[in-house]
Structure 1
């Protein structure tokens, strides 16, 4: 990977590693009407302890910034995250599969997870090198079902644990998994899953075009972990910002998103 400009020199930095970007790539069968690029559809995968509704709200600024260029469609992760008081009560557990594609009419929905690094406790720690984990297959099936029932989608947009899942989906697509038809991925505050069973997804470089967005002040997913994930992609684009663990959408970052999306 090329050396990134240090944050003290530039607060926001966007670089295509390995090649110049910014030139729209014509897509067979997609017409450009009146010179306007086609509206892209992105399937959005929220972070741990978030849900479809909360992530929709947290990406409001990004949706506004990309209005007319990209549509963001969020779905729920399949696993319910139990409240701390419930961890000793197995009877309170619910898979919540009926919540996958519905936005609650009011109130906050329960927190969700894509998988657990501690199966016994049904919790997740991004930095934990877990010997085993639980729930990934259900997470992949959720993404596949969304692609089939809500698609087609041009790309994936994942945040935190959702970005880690999106990277695995990219690896599976590269291996010929037809469940995941998309052309690119935007990975925000992403990281390489440290669960031992997931190591097989990163044995070879991932070819999917990718934009990796990282916060230099992120204390939940340190920027170094997002750069580590980017290194597993063949020609990643990297957007760094001075903030923490959130989806950035300021003017300079909007320009970087649009520059990346202009390729599709």
Structure 2
């Protein structure tokens, strides 16, 4: 293929994200939420891959009656969110997804998937997770927070999360205080504020402007001639 073909390939290279859904929902539900809320120009610029969590829901889902089952969860936790079950299995499952369906440039997560996404970047930096796959280059975090379990948090946030990250913060989201805490562990966070609660928000003019700027910055990071790829 000549240089003209190489130029075309370079132009067509989209940032590729593995998308991690919320607790007791599914990849298909997250896909529907994003595809109905975000404008087409965003969807055209990103290569979004949606997967289901490894464990079938072990209780009632908050989206029952809104979205059809089946529902899944990434791992289980106690009431205080300080003890996790099946967490190591979850990390291995995500790594297997990246190996089988990747490579991926970044992670997009909502709720439990957002907690995982941000934490995975830190755990990968420490060499305790995602050791067999390329480095996460960026994050899109919607309704996120930090891990609370000391055994995980001590590794995930012992040093700042250095990759660029875009954080959606809802004014009425019960997770908002925890999302703000997460910002403190990120070196390059960008924020999109919205008036809604714990949900995938629509983009207003300001949100669209910030989203466009973030996408333009990560597009540069994934081009074949970029030294970080």
Q: TM-score range by the shorter chain?
A: 0.7 to 0.9
Greater fraction of residues in helix? 2
Structural mapping, 1:34-183, within 5 Å: 36=11, 38-60=13-35, 61-62=37-38, 64-83=40-59, 108-118=68-78, 128-130=80-82, 132-176=83-127, 177-181=130-134, 182-183=136-137
Instruction: Give the greater-gyration-radius structure (CA).
Output: 1
Instruction: Work out the CA distance in 2 between the residues paired with 1:35 and 1:146.
Output: 25
Q: Tell me the alpha carbon deviations over residues 151-203 of structure 1, each in whole angstroms, 9 at most, x when there is no partner.
A: 11111000011010011210122124433423111111000121232222212
Q: CA RMSD in A?
A: 2.2
Q: Determine the structure 2 residue equivalent to 1:239.
A: 192
Unpaired stretches in structure 1, ≥5 consecutive residues: 1-30, 85-106, 119-124
Unpaired stretches in structure 2, ≥5 consecutive residues: 1-5, 61-66, 219-229
Q: Tell me the alpha carbon deviations over residues 82-115 of structure 1, each in whole angstroms, 9 at most, x when there is no partner.
A: 245xxxxxxxxxxxxxxxxxxxxxx933221111
Q: Tell me the alpha carbon deviations over residues 207-252 of structure 1, each in whole angstroms, 9 at most, x when there is no partner.
A: 1211111101113x1x221010111111211211111111123242
Instruction: Work out the CA distance in 2 between the residues paired with 1:32 and 1:117.
Output: 48
**SS at 2:43 equivalent:** coil
Bigger drift between 67-76 and 109-118 goes to 109-118
Q: Determine the structure 1 residue equivalent to 2:160.
A: 205
Structure 1 segments of 4 or more deviating over 6 A? none
Instruction: Work out the CA distance in 1 between the residues paired with 2:180 and 2:133.
Output: 24
Instruction: Work out the CA distance in 1 between the residues paired with 2:95 and 2:21.
Output: 15
Cα offset for 1:64?
2.7
Alignment of 1:230 onto 2:205: no
Cα offset for 1:150?
0.8
Cα offset for 1:259?
0.9
The structure-2 alpha-carbon separation of the partners of 1:63 and 1:159, relative to structure 1 and needing over 3 Å to count, comes to: farther
**SS at 1:67 equivalent:** helix
Q: TM-score, normalised by structure 1?
A: 0.69
Q: TM-score, normalised by structure 2?
A: 0.79
Instruction: Work out the CA distance in 2 between the residues paired with 1:215 and 1:72.
Output: 22
- Equivalent pairs counted in the alignment come to 201
Q: Tell me the alpha carbon deviations over residues 117-174 of structure 1, each in whole angstroms, 9 at most, x when there is no partner.
A: 13xxxxxx5xx242x2112112111211111111111110000110100112101221
